[in-house]
Amino acid sequence: MALKITRPQGTEDVTPKSINKWYTIEKVARDTAESFGFHEIRVPTFESTDLFLRSVGETTDVVQKEMYTVKAKETEFTLRPEGTAGTIRALLQNGMLNDALPQKVFYILSCFRHERPQAGRLREFHQFGLEMAGSQSPAADAEVISLAKTLLDRLGLKNIALNINSIGCPKCRSEYHKALRSYFAAREDELCDTCKTRLEKNPMRILDCKSPVCGDIGKDAPVILDYLCDDCSSHFETLKKYLTGLSIEYTVNPRIVRGLDYYTKTVFEFVTTDIGAQGTVCGGGRYDGLIEQLGGNPTPALGFGMGIERLLLTMESQGCEFLEQKTCDLYIAPMDADGTQKALTLVQSVRSEGYQAELDLMNRGIKAQMKYANKIGAKFVLVLGENELESGTANLKFMKTGEQFPVHLDERFITEFGDLAIQFLFDDILDDLKEEM
Ligand code: ATP
Ligand code: MG
């Protein structure tokens, strides 16, 4: 027997059975982003490893433990672990930051991280994300947070808490780092090995460590909010005022530092308790230094990434509604090769009007064909036997009621089918609505 090959650990297949759930999230995400004036950007799946070292940061979990780096013919690449670095690289490379600012782009893409797979934590996962470059106004932060909130609302999600924090700029952070270093140095022996190395290089990363011991020690650590400079502090105060004005509820959580190095000032997370431990559905913030760090002119920017799989788990657990799958409007059941020839042209005419149409491709008998038509949920069925072909007319059957309607098998068919479809399929939708009410 041939070796059975299975998908790699931490990856998922999305089969047609559940694709409508993905379409729902993608459609609502695109529509929401566009309503805020964001436009879609598509970037490569892999980038030079350096891009992530310089942006995500060498002391982060992502770079230290999670990157998929591949060597192909002496050149090294990394599968993107997140969307921001590649997107900013693209904004720079395509000269978009020389255009009118702010630049506002969104993306839907896969990310790769070598983590321990569990519910809501995959090795290949998907993000809806966006970036805005050029504005340093707290109104930009408010818009980005408001967009995320609007999207969650439009998906029908409930009980998703927004946590915000400010992690300051390099100026206020150097004082804060000193305070953190002296706090953690006192308990250095207890820290995990990774955090021991972080102590000198980037002590704030210790606050983001997933090890329970480091987490515990971090609980009483000094908080960044006490170290903000005037500029960062007033930025944060204004943002909070804007959020209140938008009736967006939030909690200030001084423990959020976010997992990637490039953040400055505002950081935020949307968190649910409905899907277990991996409850952060969205994470984002401001990264005013990143564009300069990647070789551009100093340009403030911000954005977020939303985990689509986590959104999906939350929507399922909360019983949210998804867009309906499109199903077959017309199924044609031919009885022989002549019937098939006729069916091939009839389905084409119906499809050109926007209907979904299929015909038998299995040479099944009439009984088996009717069974198949039921299984795929065909709304109308047309049987094409010898008699029908001879007379040039046939009966179109509306499956829900069993009613039959005579139609012509020539150029009149499309109009006759269209009239019946509009009448019956519309009634059908109304019936369904009434049932739901
Ligand atoms: P976590 O703390 O859960 O590891 P993170 O801080 O590493 O998250 P980000 O880099 O901010 O996550 O990515 C943005 C979003 O992408 C997260 O909020 C989450 O919804 C999703 N995400 C991150 N890693 C994974 C993963 N391995 N599997 C599924 N979704 C993920
Ligand atoms: Mg992570």
Percent of the chain with pLDDT over 90: 85
| Cis? peptide before 102, omega within 30° of 0 | yes
| Cis? peptide before 212, omega within 30° of 0 | no
Instruction: Please report the beta strands in 157-243, taking only residues with DSSP state E, as ranges in sequence order.
Output: 161-166
Find the mean pLDDT for residues 269-290.
94
Ligand 1 residue neighbourhood (C-beta within 6 Å): 82, 113, 115, 120-122, 125, 127, 259-260, 278, 280-283, 305-307, 309-310
3 state DSSP class of 127: strand
Tell me how far apart the alpha carbons of residues 382 and 395 are, in angstroms, rounded to a whole number: 6
Would you give the DSSP letter of residue 399? T
Q: Using one digit for the tens of pLDDT, what is the confidence trace for 361-391?
A: 999 999 999 999 999 999 999 999 999 999 9
- E strand or H helix that includes residue 79: strand 75-79
3 state DSSP class of 284: strand
Q: Superfamily assignment of 330-426 in CATH? A: Anticodon-binding domain (3.40.50.800)
**Residue 84 C-alpha to ligand 2 middle, in angstroms?**
15
Q: Using one digit for the tens of pLDDT, what is the confidence trace for 227-272?
A: 999 999 999 999 999 999 999 999 999 988 887 778 899 999 999 9
- For tokens 């980037």, the residue is 202
Domain assignments of the chain as residue spans, ordered by start: 19-169+229-317, 330-426
- For tokens 């809806």, the residue is 128
Q: Is the pLDDT of residue 87 over 90?
A: yes
Structure tokens belonging to residue 428: 């059908």
Q: Using one digit for the tens of pLDDT, what is the confidence trace for 387-430?
A: 999 999 999 999 999 999 999 999 999 999 999 999 988 777 77
Tell me how far apart the alpha carbons of residues 134 and 180 are, in angstroms, rounded to a whole number: 31
Please, what is the end-to-end C-alpha distance for the chain in angstroms? 54
- Which of 65, 68, 125 for a ligand 1 pocket mutation test, highest count of atoms within 8 Å of Cβ? 125
**Residue 285 C-alpha to ligand 2 middle, in angstroms?**
15
Residue nearest (by alpha carbon) to ligand 1 atom 19:
307
The confidence score (pLDDT) of residue 265 equals 96
Query: How high is the mean pLDDT of the chain?
Result: 94
Q: Using one digit for the tens of pLDDT, what is the confidence trace for 212-230?
A: 999 899 999 999 999 999 9
Find the mean pLDDT for residues 43-58.
94
Q: Superfamily assignment of 19-169+229-317 in CATH? A: Bira Bifunctional Protein; Domain 2 (3.30.930.10)
Structure tokens belonging to residue 134: 């050029």
Tell me how far apart the alpha carbons of residues 371 and 276 are, in angstroms, rounded to a whole number: 42
- Which of 14, 25, 56, 280 for a ligand 1 pocket mutation test, highest count of atoms within 8 Å of Cβ? 280
The confidence score (pLDDT) of residue 372 equals 97
**Residue 271 C-alpha to ligand 2 middle, in angstroms?**
14
Contact of 232 with 166, CB cutoff 8 Å: yes
Q: What is the CA radius of gyration of the chain?
A: 28
The confidence score (pLDDT) of residue 1 equals 67
Tell me how far apart the alpha carbons of residues 314 and 57 are, in angstroms, rounded to a whole number: 30
Q: Using one digit for the tens of pLDDT, what is the confidence trace for 122-150?
A: 999 999 999 999 999 999 999 999 999 99
Dihedral (CA of 52, 56, 60, 66) sign: negative
Find the mean pLDDT for residues 273-292.
94
Atom of ligand 1 nearest to the CA of 210: 2
